[in-house]
Each structure stands twice: as structure tokens, then as C-alpha cells.
Structure 1
């Protein structure tokens, strides 16, 4: 998920002065640049929230990634939109089968029977913040022994799912949580960077999205909900709770994004990376957006609107949908470009990964599809409920490769 940023006093960083050598892979800009990868025939995949922008892009990317047939079922409450999407997909991806099944994920008792025919459930129905029964879909999938993954960007939701880890291990069951682009791909980049450093003393994650990245109301609602939460950070391994949208810092993202002011927000990868990858380090995540008007409007919202209102899920969803015409207009002006910079610093080594894509929606779909492919086919994912950074080296590298095929991806390193 991408979130929107705010204005404060900046601290300037120049990323290039820290690194003396670089490896850069530029994207192939054709429409269908995914390298076909063999998958077993007729895997049955259910995409929950498949009519949303993230779900739709995930389905498109997964069909490009697979060289063998997939049976993909789109679930949701909007049958008309789903049938229209199925019609389009049957034309653009004729090697695969597409169907629709109505689903209201708040009706928990119906989930087990819904999931039973499938090999994999992909949960893309955000926003994930303030959801009741956050582990309901994972629990239902585990009861039917159907592999599960989500694109959760909420710490409380992720923690609730992670609590099912021991139960999953005892059942020999595998699931992935907080996949996608960020969190998701960013976790893998951070894990790879830290792996090359003996003593990590800081792990910094910076994200940028122009407008809503083409995703629309869902990302706006998520942003408001996250604004009601203190940002979890770590200083020398100790947890700190800092004000959301604080600690402004200017970073050069490079490429077509350039220098942007970034701000703290609360995301699950900070806690999971602290627990799994860098337990004694300084760890935080910061965000920026464009155009600047988003900064001004959302900074005013953070200062003037009570957290009790911002944390009201129903109210924020309604407000975001009401604002959708304005959001779409601004998105047309700003574009949907997104970028990441992940910096791991040790005593003598600094490693940086950079990522840039022209569309957040498209690259979230590509990253989610890369995780889905590995979960469907890899024999190297052990039982349990796993964050991305818990995957082994080979699986991580496969996902990074397939998630960044249409992006500009760069590693810079100074020994």
C-alpha cells in the first residue's frame, strides 16, 4: 500500500554520496514483458476482492506469469463488475478460465465452504485497518487446508494472523501475510540488504506514491485510518511510538521521482523486520506523495480531526468514496508513479535498494502475483504463517525477480 504524506521541517539526505558502486536493471517497457513460468495445470485460485483495483491487477499479472492454465475465481459483492471483468479477461488471457462467486467476507460462517474447492486464496479486499475478526479468512482457509496470502498493510491485522502460526505449523499448513509491494517486496529487499551486513545498526524504508497511485478510495481510507495511530519505530532495538506524519526527512529517490519529503506512518513491516531481521537496529518507514496539495490537506486533517473520528472505519470509507471524483481528477494530473528506497547500514557497509514503477496499481499486482506463484508452486515454503522476510534466499530472489520485471530496480553498495 502507499500512503500520503505531510509537510514539516525537512532533514536532507543525499543518497548518492553514500554509495560508490551500483548495479542497475532498467525495465522493459513493452506491454507483456513477464517471462512465462511453468505452473502445474489448472491451479484453482480464489481472489477475494478481485473486482477492486489491487485484485484486478493481481489477476492480470498472474495470468501473464503463468504459462499453463489457471482457473481464477473472482469473489466479491459486485456481480456486474465481476462479470464485466471476466468477459474482458477471457479475451485478453484466453489460456485461462475465469468465473465469479458472490462473497461477503463479513459472513464468516460461509467462508469455509467457499474456500474448499481452491488451491490458493488471495485476500486483496482492503482496507485492512479496523476490520472485525481480522484472522477470519486465514482461519477458514487453514480449516480447509487451502493456502492463503493477503496484502495486509495494517499492524494489528498482521499480528492477529501471525498468532495462528503455531497452529499452522502443527497442521503442516503454509500461509503468507503482508505481501504485495510495500509491505511485501520492500520486506524482501530489506532482508537481502541486511543479510550482507554483519552488524545492522539502521534499517530505513522510504516510499513514494504520486496521488493514490491509481488505486483510489481504498488507499485514501487506509491513509486516514493509519493517521489515527502512533507510528511504531525502533531505536537501538527499543520500541518507540512517535506522532504520525512526523519526523520529516528529504530523500532523493532518484529516477523520475527525485527529491521528496518523507514522513513517519505506522506500518507492519517495521515491527516484523525488527523482530526477524534487525532486532538491535534503528528501524522506521517513511512516506511521501505528490502533488504538494495532498501534503497540505492531509497535514490539516491530522492536526484538526480527532483520532476517534479518523479511526472510524465506516466514516472514513464513506468520506473516501465521497471524495473519489476529486481523487480521480488529482490522479490524472499527478500520475501514478511509485518508488521505494531501502537502506541498511552497518559498521563498515551501507547497502541500498531502489525501485521505481510508473504505476502503483500495476506493480502491486505484479508483486502480489509473484508471491502467489511461489506459494502455489514452491516446495521451499515451510508450514506456518510467514511474513515475506521469513522466506528463504531462493524464494526471496524469485519473488524479487518476478515482481520487478517492469520496474527500474537498482542496488547500490559501498563497502
Structure 2
């Protein structure tokens, strides 16, 4: 048996060499009738991934394996979370070890962002192995790649649910709640504000600047129109944060929501506090040459500078998130508006709630929908409300029906 101290694994499971290959011998295979659900969290040693692990520890009995490339960091997280969590040092390019770990799992959660450059290889491996899949992906290019795997997942009988974090994720389910309040939904306006780093580390910085690279399509008045990222400023009133500037931003919801719901327009906008960060992002989008924003060193420079700044400002701005879903249309023949708002003090922890709740439902067999689905397509509102209540997440609702 390999020494757990070498970073390959820790805990009760075993990694052994056989026929010149690395073989995974999970605890559940050694214990016969005492089988326990096993969850593999790729990128689980990061802030989002570890938040998912914490949520699963609280709401399931699963044995959890978190992966990463830094063995010492991963082991520190395992030591903090307890004996139900083990660490596997893994690079996603190591297909042999990746396949072995996936095959030994009941659910695989992909948290190894940023997803801008990711392909659907992990999802395809899950499909081949017959293992359910969840991810926290937040980039449209990855979402499209994942959706192309729907026929294969349906044939394999596995449920794959993508975009399950906080935004996209909980935000999408809030929109579904509001859409279902109306007889004829017509317009969705979804906006977010994040305080400082959001508690999510440098990855969120990379995601923000990667989203500025090029114009994207938005569903406006029943047609796809090109819009520029960080354009068309609006001032939106959020609980806790008050009025905040928000701007068009390239997120998967811009095309997944119009695919899921029969509406005329979908608007997706994003902003940050302190307001200085909004100005910084807006100035990069407006004044920097598009060629520069496609250079990885430039993205890394901007991300690290921003992360350094938020290390300072997080102390007074906090790392929370606020979401506002505003759906207008008709109900009982009258003009109506359904609006939902949510505030959470830590964005990374809130993402853990979103992904952890979906995984909990898969493990308990309450959610079974073979194929590849966005969370708003897969998660019924009653189950969404149930899992949010279990986590103490309060979503404020308001339904306004105008008189004739």
C-alpha cells in the first residue's frame, strides 16, 4: 500500500499498484454491506470545492475525496474537516488516475476552474463510467460543450447537472421560482453584486476578466443581439448593499434561461462593491485593446493585482453576495411582476450550498433526470426550497399584480 504521506491519498481508502497500473481500492468495496456513498470533488482543495465538501459533511453521510495539485494544502483541509474527507493529489491531465477515481465514485463534482479553457473531458469520463456528475461551471463556452454531451448521458442513464453554484446556480432556481408565479412570463432581469473577492480566491478574478474578452449574444425582444460586456450601466437596489451599478456580463444564464423559459427578453448584469472595482473593470472593458485581454499573462496580471487589492478591502467590504431576480409578465390576465432577492455573507460558502444541495438530492435519489441539464431545467422548485430551508437560506419574495 502506498504511504498516505506521499500526497496520493489519505484516510482509509487504498491506492495500489497492479499490472503496472494504479488501482483504487475504495473503502466501500472492502466493507460489503456497509457501503457508503462516495463523492469525488475535483478541485476540492480550493475555496469553492472545500465549501462544497463542508456542505456535504453537514447534509450527507458520504465519504468525500477532494483533489488538487498541492498535497500539503489538500491535507490541511482534510485535517480540518475530519476523517470522512481524504485527499488525492491529481492533475486533470492524468487521465489514468482520473478515470480510476471517477469509476470508484457515486457522484463527481467538478470545481476545478476557471472553466473558460476546460473541455468536457471529465463529464465524458463520467458518462463512460456511468457516474453522476455535478459542476460549478460559470463560463458559457464550457456550458455549451457540456450540453453537447446530453444524448450520450441519456443513453448511459446518468444525471449530469451543470452551473450549480451560486451564480449560476441558486440564482437560476430563483428565476424558476419567479417564472412559475406567472401565467405568461415575458421578461427576466437577473442581476448580482459581489463584495470584494467574494471569498472565492483568485479564480473569481480570472473569471471576471476572461468575461471581458469579446461581445456576446443576449436574448432581447425575441432575437439574439450582440452586446458588449460591462456596458449599459443600471443602478439596481439590493438588500444590504443598497443601490449598486450593474453591467451586462457574459454568463451562461444569458442563453440557458431563454432556452429553459418562453420569455421575450433575458438580461444578465453584474456589479461589485466597493464601487471602485466596478470602475476598474469597466475601464478595462472600455479602454483596453481586445487583443490584450486575450493574452494569458495579461489576465494573470489583472487577476493578481485585483486579488491583492481585495485582500485589503475585504476587511471592510466583506465577501458577500446579493442576487435579484425580477420576472415580469401576466397573471390572471393582468400585468404582474415576481421579484426575489437573496443575500449571503460569503459567496464561496453560498456556492457550496448550491452545489452541495444538488449533490445531496442525487445521493438520496430524489433527483434523477438522465442527460445533461442546467440547474434550472433539472431542479424542481419544491426540492430547491426544501434544501435552501435546510441550510437556513432565506429568499425574499414579492408578487405584484397590477389592477386592470
> Which TM bucket (shorter chain)?
0.7 to 0.9
Q: Is the 8 A contact 1:188 1:400 kept in 2?
A: no
Q: Does 1:70 align with 2:56?
A: no
**Which deviates more, 98-107 or 397-406?**
397-406
Aligned counterpart, 2:85: 98
Q: Does 1:344 align with 2:332?
A: no
Partner SS, residue 183 of structure 1: coil
Measured in 1, the distance between the counterparts of 2:97 and 2:58 equals: 31
Aligned counterpart, 2:394: 408
Q: CA deviation at 1:121?
A: 0.6
Q: Does 1:367 align with 2:354?
A: yes
Measured in 2, the distance between the counterparts of 1:106 and 1:54 equals: 21
User: How far does the alpha carbon of each residue in 1:256-289 deviate from its partner, in whole angstroms, 9 at most, with x for none?
Assistant: 11111111001111211101113x4110111111
Measured in 2, the distance between the counterparts of 1:355 and 1:230 equals: 29
Measured in 1, the distance between the counterparts of 2:241 and 2:388 equals: 20
Aligned counterpart, 1:135: 120
Partner SS, residue 365 of structure 1: helix
Q: CA deviation at 1:372?
A: 1.1
Q: Does 1:264 align with 2:248?
A: yes
Q: CA deviation at 1:304?
A: 2.7
Q: Does 1:293 align with 2:276?
A: yes
Runs of 4+, deviation exceeding 4 Å: none
Q: CA deviation at 1:206?
A: 0.9
Q: Is the 8 A contact 1:225 1:313 kept in 2?
A: no
Aligned counterpart, 1:30: none
Structure 1 unmatched runs, 5+: 1-39, 91-95
User: How far does the alpha carbon of each residue in 1:59-97 deviate from its partner, in whole angstroms, 9 at most, with x for none?
Assistant: 11111112xx3211011101000111111111xxxxx51
Note the 1:283-362 alignment, pairs <5 A.
Answer: 283-313=266-296, 315-317=298-300, 319-321=302-304, 323-347=306-330, 348-362=335-349
Aligned counterpart, 1:253: 238
Q: CA deviation at 1:110?
A: 4.0
Q: CA RMSD in A?
A: 1.8
Measured in 2, the distance between the counterparts of 1:217 and 1:392 equals: 29
Partner SS, residue 194 of structure 1: helix
Q: Is the 8 A contact 2:230 2:248 kept in 1?
A: yes
TM-score, normalising length: structure 2: 0.85
TM-score, normalising length: structure 1: 0.83
User: How far does the alpha carbon of each residue in 1:275-324 deviate from its partner, in whole angstroms, 9 at most, with x for none?
Assistant: 1113x411011111111111222222112322233233464245424653
Q: Does 1:384 align with 2:371?
A: yes
Q: Is the 8 A contact 1:232 1:241 kept in 2?
A: yes
Q: Does 1:89 align with 2:76?
A: no
Measured in 1, the distance between the counterparts of 2:111 and 2:302 equals: 21
Q: Is the 8 A contact 1:150 1:176 kept in 2?
A: yes
Structure 2 unmatched runs, 5+: 1-33
Q: CA deviation at 1:379?
A: 4.3
Query: Do the aligned partners of residues 283 and 381 (structure 1) sit closer, same or farther apart at CA in structure 2, a change above 3 Å counting?
Result: same
Q: Does 1:59 align with 2:42?
A: no
Q: CA deviation at 1:409?
A: 1.5
Note the 1:114-133 alignment, pairs <5 A.
Answer: 114-131=101-118
Q: CA deviation at 1:234?
A: 1.0
Measured in 2, the distance between the counterparts of 1:406 and 1:208 equals: 21
Q: Is the 8 A contact 1:210 1:337 kept in 2?
A: yes
Q: Is the 8 A contact 1:339 1:355 kept in 2?
A: yes
Query: Do the aligned partners of residues 104 and 400 (structure 1) sit closer, same or farther apart at CA in structure 2, a change above 3 Å counting?
Result: farther
Measured in 1, the distance between the counterparts of 2:350 and 2:386 equals: 12
